Structure 1
Amino acid sequence: MPGLYAIGEVACTGMHGANRLASNSLLEAVVYAQRTATHLLDTEPRATSAELPAWRADGLLPVEEHGALAHDLTSLRETMGREVGIMRRNARLARAQRRLDLLAAEVDDTWRRCRPTKDLVELRNMVQVAMLVVADASNQRENRGLHYNADLNGAARINAVT
């Protein structure tokens, strides 16, 4: 995907094995972060501000109930912590997906009606990432590294990425 960079442990470079040693992965993240930043600064941007439509807030309401956003954030954290932890099961992932679908609908409703605030944007992004994590975990067919689903059959071994 053009313009998407992966650095540090997620890049799986193999430079320091599985990158589970904090000092090694930290060093790799710092080195590759610097290289990526330099590359981005030296690369012509794909979009200019003239190509982007101007922001229009006409008809959007202010977010009146920040308490609802805080409640949704708490619900998101509890769902991910309880249902999508280190030891996963298919039923818990399905329950998490149902809860996230409801939460996403509520957040999307607020998103469409109200002017974005920092809290609303962050919550919307977190819900989207949570949904991607659950979808990926649900599609997992083997246990690898820290991604473990107790419902996978005995033939699926726990593997380390090295």
Structure 2
Amino acid sequence: MNAKLAYTRQTKSPATACPLLAPPVLACEVWQLDGRSRQTPGEARTRVVEMSRVRGLAPETVDDLAVIVSELTTNAVVHAPNDTICVIVMLAEREAHVVVIDHGRNGPPCPGSPADEHGRGLPLVEALADQLVRMPAEDGMAMWASVGSSPNPPSKSAT
């Protein structure tokens, strides 16, 4: 996959930049989560895993989405704490999108050195996502990651 982080200032709202999902759309959910709690990334991860598994996404895609939503929500909680963060998950048959919108005024975290314990989240998301976009949102920042997805292959029946 290996995405490059894109910085765009063409829109102030992620909703106006939303690409049309390839039909059929399987699900779209929006969550308002606690923007100050260290439990928020785990909650987002649990929700995206459940949502993806129920919709039959391949285990590899579910794992990638779990890491992506966890890292993006962690950055929002740690670097731009506020009362809430918004997480949007859109699943289609051949693609999945995760958008995390914070309400902080801080810029993106600075990448750390290889010896640092912190600073590896965005490079990890870049490695897993097909595309990663950072854009201003009304009073904060939106991070949008997209991955190709495939349905879970049907199980072989014994004949």
TM-score (norm: length of structure 1): 0.26
> When you count helix as a share of all residues, which structure comes out higher?
1
Greater strand content: 2
